Amino acid sequence: MLETPTQTKWTFDSLAEADRSTLEDILLTGTPPDFEQMEGYIYAGWNHEWVGRLSGEKFKKGFRRRPDGQTYGYNEIVRQDRQGHRGEWNVRMRKGRPIQLGYFRVSNVADEPPQPLYAPYAHAGHLNYNVPINTGISFPFRVIRDFSILPNPGDHELILCKAYFQLGFKWANIFYCYFLLGHRQEIEFEPW
C-alpha cells in the first residue's frame, strides 16, 4: 500500500524559521487568499529578511473595504521589541489613533496587466501600493508590489508574502523581502 505524504501544517513560528528556498517553494505552490475572508481583519506582520527590517521588523497590516467598495489595505507602525517573530505587536499611537501609512489595492495577480515579474506568481494574491492615496510620507510606498498566498490552503489565519520594489519605466524589479502575516484580529480603528 502506498503511503500518502502528509502536508505540513505551517505556523507563524515555523514559517519565520524557514529558509528562503522553502519560503519560495511555498509561495510557488500555495493557494491565493480570498480577500473577502480578510476583510475587517488586521494581521501582525514580520519581515523575514534583514533588508525588510530596515523599515521595521514588525508591523501590522489591515484589510478594509473603501467607501467606494474596493478592498484596500494599510500598514500600522509597531513598536520594535527586539523579540524577533515572537513578542508583542504594540502599535504606535498619535492622538489616540494608530499611525497608519502605506496603503495598497488588493487584487489577484491574474487580474493585473501581465508583466514578466508576475509570471511565476500568476496564482497568487496581489497587493499594489501604486495608488493615489499614497501621498506625503506614504508616497515612497508606491514602488512596492507584494505577492501573497495561503501556506495552509483555506486557512486565512496565516499568509506568506513576497515584496518587490518596481522601479522605473522598464519595470526594473528588485526583491525586497519575504514577510509573514498572522495572529489576526478584528480591526479596532477604522482607517478611512
- Mean pLDDT calculated for residue range 151-176: 90
pLDDT digits (tens, 9 = 90+) for 108-131: 999 999 888 999 999 999 999 999
- Mean pLDDT calculated for residue range 21-39: 96
By CB neighbour count within 10 A (0-12 exposed, 13-18 middle, 19+ buried), where does 89 fall? buried
Q: Is the pLDDT of residue 5 over 70?
A: no
pTM: 0.92
Domain at 19-185: CATH code: 2.40.128
CB distance 57 to 84 below 8 Å: yes
Residue 1's pLDDT is 44
What does the block give as the cell for 70?
A: 474596493
pLDDT digits (tens, 9 = 90+) for 134-147: 999 999 999 999 99
The DSSP bridge partners found for residue 164 are: 145, 175
